[in-house]
Amino acid sequence: MATSSTKIVVNALGKAAGGVNAHFTLLVDGQKVGEGTAGTTAKDFVFTPVLTTDTAHKVQIQYDNDAVINGQDRSLTVNSISIGGKTVAPTAGIVSYDKGALDGRDVAAGQSNMWWNGTLVVNADKSYFPAATPTPAPAASTGGKDTIVVNASGTAAGGVNAHFKVLVDGKQVGEATAGTTAKNFTFTTDAADRVAHKVQVQYDNDAMINGQDRSLTVNSISINGHSYASTSSAVTYDKGALDGKDVIAGQKGMWWNGTLVLNAPASDFPAGTTTTPTPTTPTPTTPTPTNPAPTGPAFYVATNGKDSWSGKLAAPNADGTDGPFASLAKAQAAMRADPNIDTTYIRGGDYHQNGLWLNSQDSGVTFAGYGNEKAVIHGSSAASVSFGLGGAKNVTIEGLSFADGVTTGHYVFADNAAGLTFANNVVKGGGYGITVQNSANSKVTGNQFDNTGAESIFVKAGSNATLVSDNLIRHPNAADRGDAGIWINGSSDVKVTHNQIENSPEKAIAIGSVQTDGSDAAYRVTISYNKVINANLESNDGGGIYLINRQQDLANHTVVNNDVSGTTATNPTGQVASWGIYLDDWTSGTTVKGNVVHDNIGGVFLHGGWNNTVTENVIAGNSGAQIGLQQPVAWSGWKGHAMTGNDISGNVIDVREGTAVHIYGPANVGNLHDNFYSSLNTAEKEFDAWPQVMSSGAWGTLSNWQAAGYDKGSVILNPGFVNPAADDFSLSSNSPVYAHGFDHISAHDIGLLA
């Protein structure tokens, strides 16, 4: 096989502990090819291993000396990996993070910040290692044309994919329709040379149809070879009409109609621009930060700052007469006093404060981490809240780390606010993570939560139309078992999407009301594309995704395209009510569709409620009943509405473990029909119903069950799971259920956004 030297460049920085910097080893296919020690300033580490060409390789960055020493948390930040001149972001889809030993056991999506020992693994295909070819003569410039490349994908609804237009300075230059697989869409235009322009990607056909939520994901926008992430500080998101009225920071996921606006500088439009885009992104001389890069006027806070200084310098000047502030409180006061500055960047380091409270005077301000530096806001026993927002609107808190909060407090607590953004923060320990109440149109996106004492994300009454997306939550409610990692209570039209929740003592995601008078009712909540792993670890009654509706009316929630596994119980062999998806206490009018519910105690359960639809789910390998319905909901003498109008059809129900269906209530509590059963032993009594409606008694076979009027039109078949032995119950492309109209479940779109 042919070999060639391949240039691999790792751009990284680190945070020291005990005077020792972060160390990493570079491996290719498990073999060491070099190592580096990362200081506090990002730099390129260059390696040139000799590798087989025209062959895929795994490029691995192994962080190996994580430690916490005297309160200092050593960590490694990888900004980019360049292989043969092709740059890969650590959050790209081909990158994963194998935590601990490099053994493939605890693997998460790739990320820039490595807080634990582990390995970033780049699954680079053979295009990154091409066979040597003669260098072609340079192409002649064609002159006069500009090339815009939009890398995008979409989620369809009602059989229609996401559509977008590309505009330059408000004039359309092209349009496209995005499928479920990301691809480059190329457009050419004649824009004035040496002039700044606004390049706009306008999503224009958002819709929710039969529980399907159409959306557009924009990964990057490239102008004449200069690529921008959609989260770049040069990009904004103008929601609704392109009118400059409802503008927030740029983001990948476009959940509403609106326009991403890239303010491209004149340098992106040089004289004689050719129509041929640069094929690869060059290795940057400075890292591309995951947090907002400082742009425009701003104040700065640093551990070596002074509150007597102007705060307008990112670092002290040479003669020590001016520089950043020392405290967030001083920056808050300065932004209140200066109408032209509404942003404060916080440099890396540890900040101990007694809580910062923002009110209406602080509306529109941003507190953000500085580039990739890790600014840690430490709680204290004197402050139950690290950031409090009372009456403050359109505030952004981004790119910060929170630690050492009191277990009875909140790291972030907002009340009577609106339009808030909490993005890309890291939250460890303490009590509640981020709580919003009476704060509509807010966003909690891209954050990481570890071992919060109570709920990691709590959306309380009055926070309608809030988006909770792309958050990684591990072991919430660690100090107080609490209710859920994500708890939506008393707020309507909320979207909970693309989150991953692991190891919850009780529920992972909980939605709804606990009061019978409807004072905390929630309506039309969408729960989509979330991944739930191991819930209900310390409870005998709960679910991975749990809905409750004690006011007894039509809540009209949507639970679509989630993956739920490992929902168990403290005593899994006893009397438990533990289900992957649990519609409790009269949850009604809810659609449960396209979910993969596997390897839990129970699959999907309806406890009271009416007019629910459970359709086209994969329910497999659960140790108890795959489907359950129960009419009685009564405690303290309280009884309610009878179950009617519940439709359970078109589901793949695999009974390799446990039983098929459990019903406790009259025959009309649910209409089961046209389902697809697999791994069902027709000679075994896999169905139970009380009162006894089968001739065989409380338990019966499929024939007993169908003779009693259930599951008309249902069949037994092999659904074609991809790898059930490895608990992969996704359906193969040639599954026979598709011929029966079963909608495709896009398994690779479930979980955190790439």
The 10s digit of each residue's pLDDT in 636-646 is 555 788 899 99
Q: What digits encode the pLDDT tens for the residues 16-30?
A: 888 888 999 999 998
The pLDDT tens digits for 351-364 are 998 899 999 999 99
Residues 6+ apart with CB under 8 A from 200: 166, 167, 168, 170, 242, 259, 260, 261, 262
* Number of Cα atoms under 13 Å in the Cβ half of residue 337: 9
pLDDT at 244: 79
Q: What does DSSP assign to residue 391? A: S
Mean pLDDT (the chain, rounded): 88
**AA letter at 561:** N
The 3-state DSSP class for residue 155 equals strand
Chain segment 590-634, per-residue pLDDT in tens:
999 999 999 999 999 999 999 999 999 999 999 999 999 998 776
Cα-flanking dihedrals φ and ψ of residue 209, to 5°? Answer: -130, 120
Decide if pLDDT at 136 tops 60.
Answer: no
High-pLDDT (> 70) share of the chain, %: 93
Assigned architecture for domain 146-268: Sandwich (2.60)
Burial of 598 (0-12, 13-18, 19+ CB in 10 A): buried
pLDDT 10s digits, 286-332: 333 345 556 678 999 999 999 999 999 999 999 999 999 999 999 99
Q: What band does 144 get if pLDDT is binned at 50, 70 and 90?
A: very low
Residue located via tokens 């909970």: 496
Give residue-wise pLDDT tens across range 218-242: 999 999 888 888 888 889 888 888 8
Question: Does residue 429 contact residue 451 with C-beta atoms inside 8 Å?
Answer: yes
Q: Do domains 3-128 and 146-268 have the same CATH topology?
A: yes
Q: What is the pLDDT of residue 274?
A: 39
Strands (E) in 429-499, as ranges, are 432-440, 443-445, 448-450, 457-459, 467-469, 472-474, 484-488, 495-497
Taking residues 203-207, report their average pLDDT. 85
Taking 60 as the threshold, does the pLDDT of residue 47 lie above it? yes
Amino acid at 388: G
pLDDT in tens, 416-430: 999 999 999 999 999
Check pLDDT > 70 for residue 122. yes
Separation between Cα atoms, residue 398 and residue 391, nearest integer Å = 19
Indicate whether 444 pLDDT > 70.
yes
pLDDT single digits (tens) 658-668: 999 999 988 88
* Mean pLDDT, residues 245-269: 85
Please tell me the least confidently modeled range out of 224-233, 561-570, 580-589.
224-233
- In percent, the amount of the chain with pLDDT more than 90 equals 58
Euclidean distance between CA atoms 671 and 711, whole angstroms = 8
Phi then psi dihedrals of residue 166, to 5 deg: -115, 130
Q: Structure pTM?
A: 0.65
What pLDDT is stored for residue 638 in this prediction? 57
Residue 704 confidence (pLDDT) above 90: yes
Q: What is the pLDDT of residues 64-84, one digit of tens each?
A: 988 878 767 888 999 889 998
Element (DSSP H or E) covering residue 199: strand 197-203
pLDDT bin (cut points 50, 70, 90) of residue 738 is: very high
Q: Which residue has the higher pLDDT, 128 or 306?
A: 306
Residue extents of the structural domains in the chain: 3-128, 146-268
Q: Which helix (H) or strand (E) is 330 found in, with range?
A: helix 328-337
Confidence of residue 284 (pLDDT cuts 50, 70, 90): very low
**Model confidence pLDDT, tens digit, residues 645-689:** 999 999 999 999 999 999 998 888 999 999 999 999 999 999 999
Residue 114's pLDDT band, with cuts at 50, 70 and 90, is confident
Average pLDDT over residues 456-464: 96
pLDDT exceeds cutoff 90 at 365: yes
Q: In CATH, what class is 3-128?
A: mainly beta
At residue 441 the predicted structure's pLDDT band, cuts being 50, 70 and 90, is: very high
Q: 693 near 665, Cβ under 8 Å?
A: no
